[in-house]
Amino acid sequence: MAAAILLAKAGLQVTVVERRLQVGGRTSTLEQDGFKFDTGPTFFLYPRVLREIFSAAGRSLDQEIPMLRLDPQYRLVFGSGGELLATPDRQRMTAAIAAISPEDAKRFHLFYRDNREKLTRFTPVLESSFENWRDLARWEMLKMMPLLRPWRSLDSDLQRYFSDERIRLGFSFQSKYLGMSPFRCPSLFSILSFLEYEHGVFHPVGGCGAVTRGLARVATEMGVEILLDEPVEEILFEGRRAVGVRTARRRLASSAIVINADFARAMQRMVPNHLRRRWSNEKIESKKFSCSTFMMYLGIEGAYPELSHHTIYLAEDYRRNLDDIENAHLLSADPSFYVQNACVSDPSMAPRGMSTLYVLAPVTHEHPNVDWKKEQPRFRELMLRQLEKIGITGVEKRIRMERVMTPNGWNKEFELHMGATFSMSHNLRQMLHRRPHNRFEDLEGVYLVGGGTHPGSGLPVIFESARITSRLLLEDLRIEPQWEATLPLAAESLYEPVS
Ligand SMILES: Cc1cc2nc3c(=O)[nH]c(=O)nc-3n(C[C@H](O)[C@H](O)[C@H](O)COP(=O)(O)OP(=O)(O)OC[C@H]3O[C@@H](n4cnc5c(N)ncnc54)[C@H](O)[C@@H]3O)c2cc1C
């Protein structure tokens, strides 16, 4: 949708072909019996990229998609003992850290200072395309190496500031947004937690699905045609050049194609293997894929007014839990999980007198070790018991609506390879020029956006991929984008935090 807006603004005639009945993919709204849930993303971070995209189209993000800045941002409950109420207020946050580890509180400002610099220096990298190793050797990249410490994991980098593992987890669990363990995730990604503190955690009113609906509304108003319920069955080629797509109903000719569908699935389903040199089916299968998630979307009688908007429970043996997910491919006995209680700040998500609970547990992507047909009822029971660890008791009696999603569901309903909800993993071997390129290197006239290409998974960088890709596409068509000069008008600080 973001790419459609940018390309339409540059004067192209754009058609979006969507297989589902609604736009948004993983960032859409599940609606049943008057209850509304975000399907996937619930943390809206770093609105700046989207603000710039709207502004490029002559619109205002703040008017199109109202958002609430949350304070506290979330509550962390440690299975090993203790809690941390994360707030963007530096003084309160320092005090919250001190309550767990006074020594670590003294170094919080250093974490802040270093990551502010890291983010500033790394932003141009996230905004550029990476097409070969020479892009890596660019002077700006080389200058950044000492700061990025590519040889360190996120957790070991955080040890420079925080000695208490719980505090480190508080600043590193965000690697789960990429579907990765902080013990393996590159240290660069300390900018993820920093982004939250510096730029805020937002809740778009109506949920993150309101963002993609807002984008679709603006795109339509700009003349973009959106075809729903229309799966692309194959991309049409002349030689290696893509010339259109075929759906069950029609053939559409085009001079360029932007693929947003899951990369691995789209290639295997829509592009013949013999046309792909670098990304053959065999190569794709050899890649490391992210974890998946087990979801429960619960419509609840009444509310849990004491429960924060976002609560994260980190398993007592967090390393074991991560190892179960990433290496052993087993279901943990004490799974970490996350709960969104959106109605505490946005009552529009449920009928009057009711509320919603969105429960997410990271689990292995599809693997022969876990047969979800057998495991689903048992794991559901376990998750209902787990909820007591963050103070949600007696929930079963209050459930009025329920949907469960397993990795098999992500695979079948959302067409995600292995049900890997965060695409290919973000290790150094699968990042930057080693990720499938925005101007897709194996084919002509094919471009990628979304979590499967550079910069990677997570909404802010996915929106950035739309901008990078649109620039490359327009460059190939020799069209000068008319949207380059626009600057963000509003700062995140314009928002009054809601508690
Ligand atoms: C449970 C969960 C929680 C998450 N939480 C967060 C979070 O809090 N914050 C955050 O920033 N990120 C989060 N993420 C990560 C990130 O939001 C997702 O990775 C992101 O939504 C993926 O966007 P995408 O555009 O790459 O893919 P998608 O949203 O999956 O979009 C792909 C689109 O292509 C369509 N499509 C697929 N195949 C075809 C076909 N054959 N023909 C036509 N159309 C097709 C799909 O229907 C879909 O609309 C979360 C992800 C999940 C799953």
DSSP E strand boundaries for 112-215: 201-204
Residues 148 and 218 reside in one and the same domain = no
- Asked if 230 and 189 sit in the same domain, the reply is no
Reference 24, options 219, 190, 177, 270; nearest CA is 219
User: Is 263 inside any structural domain?
Assistant: yes
Q: Which residues pair with 292 in a beta bridge?
A: 363
Ligand 1 atom 12 nearest Cα: 458
The verdict on residue 24 lying in a domain is yes
Residue with tokens 């440690």: 78
How many CA within 13 A on the CB side of residue 405? 27
Task: Tell whether ligand 1 has an atom less than 6 A from the beta carbon of residue 177.
Answer: yes
pLDDT at 189: 83
Angle value at C-alpha 225, between 220 and 229, nearest 5 degrees: 110
The minimum-distance atom of ligand 1 relative to the CA of 457 is 19
Residues 64 and 91 in one domain: no
180 Cβ inside 6 Å of ligand 1: no
Would you state the structure tokens that stand for residue 245, as one six-digit string?
A: 């797509």
Pocket test for ligand 1, best of 18, 26, 259 (most atoms within 8 A of CB): 26
Our mutation pick for probing the ligand 1 site, out of 49, 459, 461, 464, counting the most ligand atoms within 8 A of Cβ, is 459
40 lines ligand 1 (CB under 6 A): yes
Residues 220 and 162 both lie in one domain: no
How far is Cα 225 from Cα 202, in angstroms, rounded to an integer? 29
pLDDT single digits (tens) 273-288: 999 999 999 999 999 9
Provide the pLDDT for residue 180.
77
Comparing C-alpha atoms, which of 456, 436, 452 is closest to residue 186? Answer: 456
The pLDDT, as a whole number, for residue 152 is 84
Count: domains in the chain: 3
Give the Å distances, CA to CA, from 311 to 33, 69, 321, 359, 363: 25, 16, 18, 10, 18
Sign, Cα dihedral of 235, 439, 293, 311? negative
13 Cα: distance to centroid of ligand 1 (angstroms): 24
Residue 114 C-alpha to ligand 1 middle, in angstroms? 31
Looking at 135, 170, 197, the residue that finishes a domain is: 197
26 CB-side CA count, 13 A: 28
On whether both 191 and 124 belong to a single domain, the answer is yes
Whether the Cβ atoms of residue 289 and residue 417 lie closer than 8 Å to each other:
yes
Cis? peptide before 455, omega within 30° of 0: yes
Same structural domain for residues 297 and 407?
yes
Let me know if residue 499 belongs to a domain. no
Q: What pLDDT was estimated at residue 130?
A: 66
* Per-residue pLDDT reduced to its tens digit, 91-148: 999 999 999 999 999 999 999 999 998 888 877 777 766 666 666 556 566 666 666 6
Residue 421 lies in a domain: no
79 residue type, one letter = G
CB of 17 sitting under 6 A from ligand 1: yes
Is there a single domain that holds both residue 408 and residue 339?
A: yes
Whole-number Å distance between alpha carbons of 121 and 127: 11
**259 and 181 share one domain:** no
Domain span holding position 479: 2-29+43-69+204-277+444-494
Helix segments in 225-313, DSSP class H: 263-270, 281-285
Pocket flag, ligand 1, residue 27 (CB < 6 Å): yes
Phi and psi at 19, nearest 5°, equal: -75, -25
296 and 398 share a domain? Answer: yes
Q: For residue 257, how far is its CA from the centre of ligand 1 (angstroms)?
A: 18
Most ligand 1 atoms within 8 A of CB, residue of 27, 199, 250, 325 to mutate: 27
Burial class of 126 by CB neighbour count within 10 A (0 to 12, 13 to 18, 19+): middle
Query: What pLDDT does 427 receive?
Result: 73
pLDDT tens-place values along the chain, 499 residues long: 999 999 999 999 999 999 999 999 999 999 999 999 999 999 999 999 999 999 999 999 999 999 999 999 999 999 999 999 999 999 999 999 999 999 999 999 999 999 998 888 877 777 766 666 666 556 566 666 666 666 788 999 999 999 999 999 999 998 877 777 889 888 888 888 999 999 999 999 999 999 999 999 999 999 999 999 999 999 999 999 999 999 999 999 999 999 999 999 999 999 999 999 999 999 999 999 999 999 999 999 999 999 999 999 999 999 999 999 999 999 999 999 999 999 999 999 999 999 999 999 999 999 999 999 999 999 999 999 999 999 999 999 999 999 999 999 999 999 999 999 998 887 777 777 788 999 999 999 999 999 999 888 889 989 999 999 999 999 999 999 888 555 444 444 444 555 5
Which ligand 1 atom is at minimum distance from the Cα of 265?
A: 38
Give the whole-angstrom CA distance, residue 147 versus residue 149.
Answer: 6
State residue 291's pLDDT score: 94
Global pTM?
A: 0.93
Same domain, 191 and 209: no
Which atom number of ligand 1 is nearest to the Cα of residue 451? Answer: 26
Taking the centre of ligand 1 as the mean of its atom positions, its distance from the CA of residue 391, in whole angstroms, is 31
Cα(207) to ligand 1 centroid in Å equals: 15
In one-letter notation, the amino acid at residue 418 is M
Q: Which amino acid is at 125?
A: V
Q: Note whether 140 and 98 are same-domain residues.
A: yes
Which protein residue has the closest C-alpha to ligand 1 atom 35? 261
Phi, psi of 402 (to 5 degrees): -150, 135
Note the pLDDT of residue 131.
65
**pLDDT for res 491:** 44
* Closest listed residue to residue 18, CA positions, set 236, 226, 243: 226
Asked whether 178 and 185 are in contact (CB, 8 A), the reply is yes
The amino acid at residue 428 is L
451 lines ligand 1 (CB under 6 A): yes
Q: Whose CA is nearest to atom 47 of ligand 1?
A: 25
Q: Classify 244 in phi/psi space as left (phi over 0), alpha (psi -120 to 50) or beta.
A: left
Rounded distance from Cα 465 to ligand 1 centre (Å) = 13
The answer on 358 and 210 residing in a single domain is no
Tell me, using a 6 A CB cutoff, whether residue 465 lines ligand 1.
no
Please give the Cα distance from 191 to 116 (Å, whole number): 8
The CB of 25 under 6 Å from ligand 1? The reply is yes
Instruction: State how far the Cα of 211 lies from the Cα of 217, in Å rounded to an integer.
Output: 10
Cα–ligand 1 centroid distance for 107 (angstroms): 36
Contacts 24+ apart (CB under 8 A), 170-174: 170/76, 170/84, 170/86, 170/97, 171/111, 173/76, 173/312, 173/314, 173/336
